[in-house]
Amino acid sequence: MKTFLGLATLMGIVFKPRLSMYWSTDSIYKTDIFGSCIACDRFLLWLKFLYFSDNDLFDAKDPNRDRLFKIRPLVSVICDRCANVYSPGWDLCVDESIVLFKGRLAFKQLIRTKRERFGIILFELCTSNGIILDFLVYHGKMNEELLPQFQISESIPVTVMQRYLNKGHRLFVDNYYTTPALALHLLDNNMKLMGTVRANR
């Protein structure tokens, strides 16, 4: 399983148009590490049967269903590990990024100004070195993850910052997130906010 996960991660670094090309013996496409670790058919079989949740507990007809139900346990584990294995400095940043994805997905986004125009949006809390400490996956209806007393643009930084309140950090954001309410909330929790401000706020 560690081999499978390691190769799946490596596929995000070494990009090829089709899965079968990772095991190609053609001198143009050949990448030896894949064939030496696991057979292509075995990798595809594991990929076919890999599940992180119990499908019997999922009601696809429920309008308030969690759209990340199938990977929610994995997302939770990754978020916890990101927070636990690294102790950040004073400067933190919240911003969004897009993960390239061209498959079928209800909450896939199109952002014309990005290089990867189609994909999944992540709201990330990062250190000044670019290390991710926490993240939220945008999946349309996110009410259950966010805080109702804030606007969505304020709620995203407050949600990902929960572990780091009252520790004296400085949070850097762009004008999408910057509001007086967010600045006051962070100041009440021994944090400072720095960011550009929209004129209508």
In terms of DSSP H, where are the helices of 111-166? 152-160
Tens-place pLDDT, residues 28-55: 888 889 989 999 999 999 999 888 888 7
In whole angstroms, what is the distance from residue 110 CA to residue 121 CA? 10
**Tokens 């990867």 correspond to what residue?**
116
Percent of the chain with pLDDT over 90: 22
Task: List the domains of the chain with CATH numbers.
Answer: 2-49 (no CATH), 71-195 (3.30.420)
pLDDT (tens digit, 9 = 90+) per residue, 111-166? 777 777 788 888 999 998 888 899 988 887 665 566 777 888 888 888 888 888 88
Three-class secondary structure of residue 125 per DSSP: strand
Indicate the pTM of the whole model. 0.77
Query: What was the pLDDT predicted at 97?
Result: 86
Cα distance between residue 96 and residue 144, in whole Å: 19
